[in-house]
Structure formats: structure tokens, C-alpha cells
A and B are shown apart, each in its own frame.
Chain A
């Protein structure tokens, strides 16, 4: 238990400002006692999106588990709009009655249950309870809103600084302006071409900074994992997919359905392959970002966990050095993944607007 307190203590110190402890009775689940499985559960829990903004938890001497953080609004669509604070769910320890229905949080998901909160299982330990459409403001949503607000503030001030400072960026804009120019000159123009790049610039800049900021935030001790969430990367890739295909020219579609310059038989063979490629391209985008960030978080947290497994000076400090090195690499990965996502999006846009002078 002492070790577990140590893990939590780091988070506790950092979150002392907005400590809003929620006290929960003695835990019944996850009480395996085994340190390894405890760390495993901790990492798994960290990677998931949660309904409350918890920064950490610790167990009191009396055996009570305390959570530090704040509650977020839960919004459900269950034939009608149901909304309540996530604090009411007490981290899955209690059933909440909203209207005439009962809801329970179980492994990060909200299910409709009876008054006792019974969870029924079907084949293969699958929960068979009804699941209302969950539109809650989860931790990830709040982080994204925060990032969006931060971006709006930063780039609005950069845009304004041109007017007030005689066409020269001022303040923090001096840092971001070269990045904007880099995206324009080294990502957008080479891939899309001078003629069409302008209409894609807003999207490329938005996703680059959005992904980058979220990746960096994910490395902060707040323990947020937004870009390592498949729903988020799916949403981003879907936007790239939609923009690519909605702005594509005749040439692009001709290359997919009726490849010019090859025999008819080849055209028929190539069409389904090209059509598949249409989907695979954005799919690779979503998997790449998800997997990289997810893997980074797992490795980093495992190394931190190793410190407590070794529990000696030599092993633990070695783990610490490793974790530190990986953290630095992860900062680079955060930038690199944002760059790759933007770069590949630009490349796909380039395919969509490419103009061929001659058939090949």
C-alpha cells in the first residue's frame, strides 16, 4: 500500500490546488493485492477516457479510497436527454437515479441498470445491460475544449499582433509564426501545389496544432490521453477523408475508377484496389497516431511502474533514467506524429487536386 501511495503522491502534490477529494468506501474490485496487476490496472485506467477529471487517487489509512479531481457533466441520450454530474456515479461505486431510470458506471462505461445496479453478463463476459448514447463531457472532451480555447487565444493574438505591430509578429506569436510558415512552405505547397494549397491551409494548420498540443498535454502529469484514443483519431482521419474526397477533381476519380493509360483488363482489376486504397489511406492515419501515442503512454507508465517493482536503488534509478529518456523521446514523438498526420493529409489533398498534363 505504501508504494501505491507513492504513485499517487506525485499527482497529489501537483493537484493540491484544486483538490476536491471525493471519498469512496472500501474498494471491492481491483483488490488483487498484487503490485504488477495493480500497475497494469492503473495504466489501463489511465489510457481510458473518464467521466470525471481525476488527477489521482490514494487510499487512506482507514482503507478508504480518495480521488482528487473534479466532476464533469454526464449527458446521456436515452429516449430523452438525461444530464447529471459525474460525481453522482461515485466512480462506479453507486447507482444514480435520473428520472425513472438508474445508471451505473462500469469499467468506464455507463449502463442502464435496475435500482440495485445489477450488471448482467452474456456470452464471453459481455455486459448485456442497455447502453444509453453517452454524450458526456468527458475528460478528453474537456481537454479538447481547453486546447481549442488555447489555440483560439494564441492564434487570434498572433493575427492581431500583425495589425498592431506593423506586420511583425509579437509575443508568443514569434514562436508560432515560423511554424505556420513551415507548414505552408514545406508541407502544403510541395504536396498540394501553389495553385490549390491555400484552401487547405486552414485545415492543415488546425490539425497540426490541435494534435501537437494534445500530444504534449498527454505528456503532462495531468495524465490525459486524448490523441491516444481511437475515437479522436478516427474523427480526425474522417475529416481528412471527407475533405480529400469532397474537393477531389475529375482526374482523381478517373484514376480510381478507370485508370488511364493501362489495358481495359487492368482497369477492371485496379478499380477495386484503388477504391480500397481510398479507405486505407485515412485508416492508416488514424491507426498510426493512435498506436504511437498509446504505445508511448504505455511504455512510459510501465517504466515508471518498474521503479516500484524494482524497489531498490539500482533498478529504480535505472528505470527512472530510462523513463526520463523516453519522456524526452515522447516530446519529439508528439511533434513528429502531428507533423506526419499533417504531412500525409497534405499528400492526400495533393492527390485529390493533382492535374496531369499527359496520361501516363
Chain B
């Protein structure tokens, strides 16, 4: 210990402290701070570059997913549209059929009505004709001045036979 203290040089200690403190202050200002800042900035730069690359990748993936989704949607929509079109077609056909049916029915009905009315008219005319014939027959009968009943009946029958309904 005594030898250690004997070796201790106060002057060297003063110089050493002075040199190290000056060196510390100088280097801090001119070297360490610029170096550490530069390294930090560079690391930050690398980190943010990596981050943005990662972000871009994620965005790309999102975009791709979006594309797939859009494609799927489009496909679904197309299918929907086709189905709808098919439905509409069917409906139009059905509608047309119905329409035709009702139309036909109506026409039939009208025809029947017309037939009926024609028939009525014919019947009426027939009746008229019958009446007219009856009158004619009656006229002829009366004209012939009937001798007997037998002849009268024969005549009526013959006349009726002539009448063709």
C-alpha cells in the first residue's frame, strides 16, 4: 500500500483528469453526439423503411383479397341476373300462356254467346217460319176445304214432313 502511494504522482493525476475531461467534452460535441445521432437516424430510417415495406405488402394482400371478393361478388351478381332473366322469361311465357288461355276462353265465350244469340235468332226465325208455315199450311188446308178428317190429318203430316227444321 505504501509502495502504491509512493508511486502515486499527483501531477500525473491532474494531467490525466484534465486530458480525459477535455477529451470527453470535445468528443461529446464533435464526435459522439453526431455519431450516435447518425446511427440512430439510420436505424430509424431502416426501421421505418421495413415497416412501410411491410405495410405495402399488407396493403397488396388486402387489395388481392378485395379483388377476389369483387370477382366473387360479380360472379354472384351475374348468376343472380341470369336466374332473374330465366325467371322473367318463364314468367313471360306463363303470362303469355295465361293471356292466351283467357283470350281463347273469352273468344270461345263470345263465340258461344254469338252462337247462342244466332241460335236464338234462328229459333226465333224458325218459330216465325213455323208460324208462317202453319199459317201457310192452315191456309192450304183451309183452301183445300177439307172433306174429311182423315185427309186433313194426312195433309198435316205431309206438310210437317216437308218442313225441315
Contacts and interface: CB of A to CB of B under 8 A. Distances in A.
A140 B12 contact: yes
A299 interface: no
Contact of A210 (B10, B17, B20, B39): B20
A180 B35 CA distance: 9
Interface string B1-12: 000100111111
B23 interface: yes
Interface stretch (A199-207, A247-255, A267-275): A199-207
Contact of A167 (B16, B22, B31, B45): B45
Nearest to A138: B12
Given A159-B35, A159-B38, A229-B7, A234 B13 contact: yes
A106 to B, nearest CB: 13
B8 A234 contact: yes
A71 interface: no
A223 B51 CA distance: 53
B28 interface: yes
Which of A168, A184, A206 has the most B CB atoms < 10 Å from its CB? A206
Contact of A235 (B7, B13, B28, B36): B13
B138 interface: no
Contacts of A133: 10-11
Nearest to B16: A235
A202 B15 contact: no
Nearest to B23: A148
Nearest to A159: B34
Given A180-B39, A202-B32, A141 B20 contact: no
B18 to A, nearest CB: 9
Interface string A198-241: 10011101110010000000000000000001111011101100
Contacts of B15: 135, 137-138, 140-141, 144
A230 B20 contact: no
A86 interface: no
A148 B10 contact: no
Contact of A151 (B7, B10, B14, B23): B23
A202 B14 CA distance: 21
Contacts, number: 122
B23 A239 contact: no
Contacts of B39: 177, 180-181, 184
Interface string A161-178: 011000110000000010
Given A159-B34, A230-B7, A231-B16, A206 B42 contact: no
A232 B12 contact: yes
B84 interface: no
B139 interface: no
Which of B11, B13, B17, B39 has the most A CB atoms < 10 Å from its CB? B11
B27 A202 contact: yes
Contact of B11 (A138, A230, A238): A138
Contacts of A177: 35, 39
B22 A229 contact: no
Contacts of B41: 167
Contacts of B135: none
Contacts of A234: 8, 13
A49 B9 contact: yes
Contact of A144 (B19, B28, B33): B19
A152 B27 contact: yes
A230 B23 contact: no
B114 interface: no
Contacts of A342: none
A156 B31 contact: yes
Interface of A: 48-49, 75, 133-138, 140-141, 144-145, 148, 151-152, 155-156, 158-160, 162-163, 167-168, 177, 180-181, 184, 198, 201-203, 205-207, 210, 229-232, 234-236, 238-239
7 contacts: A134-B10, A145-B19, A152-B23, A152-B31, A180-B36, A229-B12, A231-B10
The 8 closest A-B pairs by CB, nearest first: A155-B31, A162-B38, A159-B34, A202-B28, A235-B16, A231-B13, A231-B12, A134-B11
